[in-house]
Chain A
């Protein structure tokens, strides 16, 4: 094992300990509002990664993330809802007797949500993944709308437009959301490094060439789609548990645009970019809320600041990023310790004249 490798492992271990300490500290000491936003950041990271796996790494332009999330969210909502609360939540139409007495703990409900979302991804993916680019975008967007319309109309299971509230808030604990996020990050990083991940990237670069090299296009596309759907379902389950309430309107397809912004900002095809962008976008959305409040500067009330202004800024930002910073923060590269130390080494040479001189004579 060479020195660099050893250094990297030590650094990773130190970072992991620091992160765990920070999570522990934040969980116990920060106020509930900030913890909630941090949890949302972690959940957005999970869903952003799932979308990046499909869109960024495999190059399939899918807009179905809101639908997968909805499936995950509703399976947690339906199965994790305590039995004694069900009649008060389903007061319009009683719950379907088949599922009325099935109660699952949080983890099984979450996994079930992921599996159901993955299954939905398979069912929809098998027919539509043969389509290219923009057709796929519309078909997956249509799929997420179909899910939403089903949820609105299937009253005996989903409580229709009323939604389900009183979901136990397990995910409002940083160990849950960050724990799952870290597991998902590791799993996706391993997947990308494996031969499957390389096949995904080959398909993204040129699917005809990839096929000529013996990669089974259909199998790998469906696989990426199903794994992406699974993780989006898990993220959706955490989201439901964090909010404590779900209703079909939350899963309107514009929800997918949040994750689109995250992967475009972070870089299509970069895990670390997605993580960074999730925190920026989620935190930014919270900060942007201030633009919706009336603002008085030097005695004048600025009429610009009123409800809706934050969303205008948000969509302008999306446009600016696409038009001028198409590669996002990370492009297709990842943060790594080598890059980190190289960066510092470069700064060092720039600021010490002796090193610069040596560098120049080489």
Chain B
């Protein structure tokens, strides 16, 4: 009797584990999608794009307006969202970062914080602080049963989205002329300029790509956490920066790895140690401080030394 009970609870634990694992992989993939945007911008400008989380939030509003307010078909809404978000990212770079290219780093950082603050306040002003319901695309919010494990459909789709996006991104970066220009600019921005690369164009493209990945992320994030509000981008934004640092900032594969590590540890910790639920958001920062202490360059980051 005892044994059967034990086996039963073991099966339950396995089920719970699988369910949480699927969830963790989905969350990790979403973190990875956003973290790549951070890491690309950092790789080129050596700048934390504080506004990245808020670009993510604006993308959520774009899709909300596209589907729930203007009743566009979902695929149009998604394409428009990705396009508009990319434009927004480039606009921010043009207005807030490009004029400060030669300025001290602190000023650029303040400018980035200013943009983030402005987007949050603008969203609160225009869309009000009231949370809106995220639209359900193709019934992806509904659960699906695999064996005895029930998982939201969107959680199953997300990893594939990540793999496809990353394949395209890595192809662009490693195999095309544009990608070569990006790598050159991130290696040495002055030399790249001397070699005739239009660095302003390359930087704008980087912001565009990073922002559109955030837009892809938000389409699925929204279905997982179906609420759109002006401050929804803050926590994902900060956590994904942490993810990028864990993997080694400036490194795209590192960002993906960091996203997964953060997502998996976060979900598992909450699932198996419920008293820690309240501390869920603090966890990422503790991990950040630990990583910075032990290996400041991240898990697979390049080592850079300070030059005089």
Looking at B69-77, B97-105, B216-224, B258-266, the stretch in contact with chain A turns out to be B97-105
Residue B111, interface by CB 8 Å: yes
Cβ of A260: which chain B residues have Cβ within 8 Å of it? 110, 113
Contact B109 A323 (CB under 8 A): no
Residues of chain A within 8 A of B115, CB atoms compared: 319
B282 CB contact (under 8 Å) in A135, A145, A315, A326:
A145
Tell whether, in the assembled complex, residue B296 and residue A131 are in contact, meaning their CB atoms are under 8 Å apart: yes
CB contacts (< 8 Å) of B188 on chain A: these are: none
| Bound-state Cα–Cα, A127 to B106, Å | 21
| A189 interface contact, C-beta 8 A | no
A contact residues around B279 at 8 Å (CB) = 149, 153
CB-CB under 8 A from B281, the residues of chain A are 145, 149
Q: B111 contacts A152, CB within 8 Å?
A: no
- A132 sits at the interface (CB 8 A): yes
- Residue numbers in B under 8 Å from A135 (CB-CB): 245, 292, 296
A139 at the interface (CB under 8 A from B): yes
Let me know if A254 is at the binding interface, CB within 8 A. yes
Complex Cα–Cα for A306 and B128 (A): 10
Q: Is A134 a contact partner of B109 (Cβ separation < 8 A)?
A: yes
Residues of A within 8 A of B129 (CB): 308
- The residue in chain B whose Cβ has the minimal distance to the Cβ of A264 is B110
Bound: A257/B286 CA distance, A: 22
* Closest CB in chain A relative to B126 CB, distance in Å: 8
Q: Which chain A residues lie closer than 8 Å to B125 at the CB level?
A: 306-309, 311-312
Known: A61-B109, A127-B292, A312-B121. A323 touches B242 (CB 8 A): no
Is the Cβ of A138 less than 8 Å from the Cβ of B48?
A: yes
Give the tally of cross-chain contacts (CB within 8 A). Answer: 118
Is A208 positioned at the interface, with any CB of B under 8 Å from its CB? Answer: yes
Q: Does A159 contact B (CB under 8 A)?
A: no
Decide if B121 touches A315 in the complex (CB within 8 Å): yes
Cα(A164)–Cα(B9), bound, Å = 43
A319 and B289: CB pair below 8 A? Answer: no
Query: How many whole Å from B218's CB to the nearest CB in chain A?
Result: 21
CA separation between A149 and B288, bound complex, in Å? 16
CB distance from B178 to the nearest CB of A (A): 26
Any chain A CB within 8 A of the CB of B114?
yes
Query: Does any Cβ of A come within 8 Å of B225's Cβ?
Result: no
What number of A residues sit within 8 Å (CB to CB) of B? 45
Report Cα–Cα, A138/B296, bound state, in Å. 13
The answer to the question of B200 belonging to the interface, with a C-beta cut-off of 8 Å to chain A, is no
In terms of DSSP, what is the predominant structure of the interface of chain B?
helix
Which residues of the partner chain B approach A322 to less than 8 Å between Cβ atoms? Answer: 100, 107, 110-111, 114
In the complex, which of the residues B114, B120, B125 has the most CB atoms of chain A within 10 Å of its own CB atom? Answer: B114
Q: Nearest chain A CB to B45's CB is how many angstroms away?
A: 10
Give bound CA distance, A132 to B297, whole Å: 12
Which of chain A's residues has its CB closest to B129's CB?
A308
Residues on A with C-beta less than 8 A from B121 are: 308, 311-312, 314-315
B201 shortest CB reach to chain A, Å: 21
B278 CB → nearest A CB, Å: 4
Give every chain A residue within 8 A of B195 (Cβ-Cβ): none
Task: Give the distance in Å from the alpha carbon of A114 to the alpha carbon of B232 in the complex.
Answer: 33
How far apart are A270's CB and chain B's nearest CB, in angstroms? 14
Within A98-157, which residues are at the interface with B (CB < 8 Å)? 124, 127-128, 130-135, 137-139, 141-143, 145-146, 149-150, 152-153
Looking across the interface, which residue of chain B has its beta carbon closest to that of A254? B117
Chain A residue numbers with a CB within 8 Å of B122 are: 312, 315
Decide yes or no whether B284 CB sits under 8 A from chain A: yes
Please name the residue on chain A nearest to B99 by beta carbon: A323
Given A128-B292, A138-B48, A311-B124, the answer on whether A150 and B282 have CB atoms closer than 8 Å is yes
How distant is B236 from chain A, measured CB to nearest CB, in Å?
A: 13
- Determine if B278 and A149 form an interchain contact, defined as CB atoms under 8 angstroms apart: yes
Q: Using Cβ atoms and an 8 Å threshold, which residues of chain A touch B113?
A: 63, 257, 260, 318
**Residues 17-68 of B at the A interface (beta carbon under 8 Å):** 46-48
* Complex CA distance for A196 and B103, rounded to whole angstroms: 27
Contact B110 A152 (CB under 8 A): no
Question: A92 near B: Cβ within 8 Å?
Answer: no
Q: Is B241 an interface residue (CB 8 A)?
A: yes
Chain B residue at minimum C-beta to C-beta distance from A146: B282
Task: Assess whether A268 is interfacial by the CB under 8 Å rule.
Answer: yes
In the complex, 29 of the A-B residue pairs with CB atoms within 8 angstroms, ordered by the A residue number, are A55-B106, A61-B106, A61-B109, A128-B292, A133-B109, A134-B46, A134-B105, A137-B109, A138-B238, A138-B241, A138-B242, A139-B289, A141-B238, A142-B238, A142-B284, A145-B282, A153-B279, A260-B110, A264-B110, A308-B128, A311-B121, A311-B124, A311-B125, A312-B125, A315-B118, A315-B122, A318-B114, A322-B107, A323-B100
Chain B contact residues, CB within 8 Å of chain A: 46-48, 96, 99-100, 103, 105-107, 109-111, 113-115, 117-118, 120-122, 124-125, 128-129, 238, 241-242, 245, 278-279, 281-282, 284-286, 288-289, 292-293, 296, 306, 308
Supply 12 further A-B pairs (C-beta < 8 A) apart from A128-B292, A308-B129. Answer: A63-B113, A133-B105, A134-B105, A208-B306, A257-B113, A307-B125, A309-B125, A311-B121, A312-B121, A312-B125, A318-B118, A319-B115
